[in-house]
Amino acid sequence: MNFDRLHTLYHQPLFDLISRSRAVHLEHWRGKSVQRCSLLSIKTGGCSEDCAYCAQSAHYSTGIEREDLLPLERILSAAKQARAQGATRFCMGAAWRGVHDGTDKFERVLETVREVSQLGMEVCVTLGQIGDDEAVKLKAAGVTAYNHNIDTSPDFYPRIVSTHTFQDRVDTIRAVQRSGMSVCSGGIIGMGESVDDRLHMLEILSEFDPQPESVPINCLMTMPGTPLADAPPVDIFDLVRLIAVARIAIPRARVRLAAGRTRITREGQAFCFFAGANSIFFGDKLLTAENPAATADVKLLRELGLRIDSHETRNCGPAGLVSR
Ligand code: SAM
Ligand code: SF4
């Protein structure tokens, strides 16, 4: 969807926008559940890149302890625990610029994916830049989706990252698409970008062909020691508007209310679900950042009467997903 249309949508009165996004949501997702994804950092800190928001960049003193690639057994045990807590998608993130075929670390990732994919959850990885060879092998190993966020608009991107380019991000996404893996791609708001930057980001996401299967919308988690440590919180209505526009522009995507939920009230989160969000990161930790307690999330979703994606409902086919 082009920028002008996104701009018109975004700037209409809030309740008109929400009514429209709700209609699109019901058309495509009526009766479907909220997906719960669990996220594990499999390699933490010490990253060569200088992303201004990221606590894992080696360019900043953030107090994050570096950890090498976790052993397979630790990852498997975390994946089993996530499944036991109800996660239906398990995402593994690595603080790397990227990975290359033929390296020991890539072989270890492939082996990990083969094992985790036996557990019956969707498997998502976020490993930074990859090319065609890596994408094909990851898919063959059992990866369902590759996360690679474009994070913001092309114009704003150089203000937050200097060690790689926006085009590098897009090139990875294209390699993922060619391999047949699903693309999970979204961005961060609250880094000092304008509303137009956010809409340019949505323009690019919505014009990918095919559109991303999943679109995480992160609110900046301010990380001490990073250049964005003192950024003010995102206004809830700005977030709701962006989610609503994302729902309209990318109707079949899971729109994920991702990082930053600890700074959003329960009422604010409810508003986001109403506007079109239908996926959350679930579990007490998000890579290195805090996340609401899993029990609090289940309580909130139940109180709202939202269906929660679980192994039971996933496996019982259309009957389990009857519309309300
Ligand atoms: N290194 C890989 C990469 O850059 O794609 C994967 C890990 S990286 C931590 C994954 C995503 O987490 C980033 O693209 C960004 O959207 C999100 N993220 C990282 N730090 C964040 C923060 N402080 N607040 C909100 N989102 C953040
Ligand atoms: Fe590294 Fe990814 Fe963090 Fe950027 S966002 S510093 S690439 S871990």
Full 3-state SS string of the chain = CCHHHHHHHHCCCHHHHHHHHHHHHHHHHCCCCEEEEEEEEEEECCECCCCCCCCCECCCCCCCCCECCCCHHHHHHHHHHHHHCCCCEEEEEECCCECCCCCHHHHHHHHHHHHHHHHCCEEEEECCECCHHHHHHHHHHCCCEEECCCECCCCCHHHHCCCCCHHHHHHHHHHHHHHCCEEECCEEECCCCCHHHHHHHHHHHHHCCCCCCEEEEEECCCCCCCCCCCCCCCCHHHHHHHHHHHHHHCCCCEEEECCCHHHCCHHHHHHHHHHCCCEEECCCEECCEECCCHHHHHHHHHHCCCCECCHHHHHCHHHHHCCC
Mind listing the pLDDT tens digit for each residue in 244-256? 999 999 999 999 9
Interval 264-298: pLDDT, tens: 999 999 999 999 999 988 766 666 666 777 788 88
Residue 209 lies in a domain: yes
Kindly state whether residue 317 falls inside one of the protein's structural domains: no
Annotated active-site residue 272? The verdict is no
CATH for 69: 3.20.20.70
Q: Is 322 among the domain residues?
A: no
This prediction's pTM: 0.92
| pLDDT score for 287 | 62
Tens digits of per-residue pLDDT, 137-170? 999 999 999 999 999 999 999 999 999 999 999 9
pLDDT tens readout for residues 164-201: 999 999 999 999 999 999 999 999 999 999 999 999 99
Range of the domain at 213: 3-21+32-311
Residue 27 included in any domain:
no
Distance 130 CA to ligand 2 centre (A): 14
Quick one: pLDDT at residue 38?
A: 86
Query: For ligand 2, which residues put their CB under 6 angstroms from it?
Result: 47, 49, 51, 54, 56-57, 95, 97, 128
Report the number of distinct structural domains present in the chain: 1
Q: Is residue 47 among the annotated active site residues?
A: yes
Give the confidence band of 324 by pLDDT, cuts at 50, 70, 90.
very low
Please indicate, yes or no, if residue 320 is contained in any of the structural domains: no
Specify if 324 maps to a domain.
no
